[in-house]
Structure formats: structure tokens, C-alpha cells
Amino acid sequence: MGALRGHAPAGGPGSVLPTLAERVEFLFDLAGRRLAGRCGAEEPSLRRLLERGRKEAAALAGSGPAGLVHGDLHPGNVLDGGSGRGFVAVDPRPCVGDPDFDAADWVLEGVADAAEAVRRAGELAALVPGSSSGRILGWCRSLAPLVAVPRAAAGRDDPATRFLLEWCGGSTGG
């Protein structure tokens, strides 16, 4: 994450890279289409969670620092480069925007309570110069519906899913 922050490409009109706002819109549109395909119009509470997350994520994408964003930086997309080369981020969905976006999947992976999310965001912020634990948590909360809604639609009822639903403004009732 720190290495990505050091590279801030020019964004805006004419750039080959989309903005983070465009990436966020794409992610929430895709989640909405998948939810509609799975549940039809029968899950208005899940749709509301997606829309709330979309609004919060759009607000974050429209503020804050601008830099290179991997766009899909989760543990499965980081490989050991071997031979002392360090880690390599693969399968990017690059865009220009707030680099703290890339920390969300690392914090959200398996998290089941707010204290753990805060702890993880603080640890990441301490490790990555220029990052903000507050913005990381903002991204986590706004993107939580992208993790929680598909799980809930599939009938998952585990502690992590219940926490994420509650954290992003939904109910934990089954």
C-alpha cells in the first residue's frame, strides 16, 4: 500500500485511468444487479443498505487525497515476489483517488466487531505513511454492504455477516 501511494498519476478528463468515484459507482451498480438477479425486488432492506453505502462511498471518493488506487487489493491479490523482491500486487482495477480505499478489504476480512475493525484500521494507518485510520474506517463502513449484502442474500448468518450488516446500518435479526 505504501508503494502505491508514491505514484500519483494524473487523473481527470483524458486520463486512461478512471476516477475512484467511477470505480465506486461500478461496484455498487454490479452489486445491485447481482442482488436483483438473486432476490428480485423482494429484499428492499438490502437494497437500502447498498444505496446508503453508495452515497457514503461517493462522498469519500469526492474528497481526500488523490493517488494511484489498486482497486481490488485484498489478501488474495498480493503474492510473495520471492528472491527478496517483496510482495507483488496482482489483478489490479486501477483508478485515481483516495489510496485509503485499498485498505478496506484488509480490515473487513473476517472482522466480527467494531473494536477489531478500529484496531486493524489503526494498525494499517500506522504502517502506511500518509494513510488515515478515520478514512480507512469510513471506506470500510461504506463498502461493508458490498460484502454483507451478497452474504445475507445467500442466507449466511455468521458473526462477521451479522456485524457487517449492523455496522452498515442494517439489522442483525435473522
Which pLDDT does position 55 carry in this prediction?
A: 97
Picking from 114, 115, 117, the residue whose alpha carbon sits closest to that of residue 104 is 117
Cell numbers standing for residue 109: 476480512
- What amino acid is encoded at 29 in this protein? D
pLDDT given at position 82: 75
* Number of CB atoms found within 10 A of residue 173's CB: 7
Strands (E), 63-150: 67-69, 78-80, 87-89, 95-97
- Residues pairing with 95 in the sheet: 69
Give per-10-residue mean pLDDT for the chain (174 aa). 58 74 95 82 83 96 87 77 76 86 93 96 93 96 95 92 89 44
Report pLDDT for 53.
Answer: 96
Q: Look at residue 81 in the predicted model and tell me its pLDDT.
A: 76
The predicted pLDDT at position 39 comes to 67
DSSP 8-state class, residue 18:
P
The pLDDT score that the predictor gives to residue 75 is 77
pLDDT of residue 171: 52
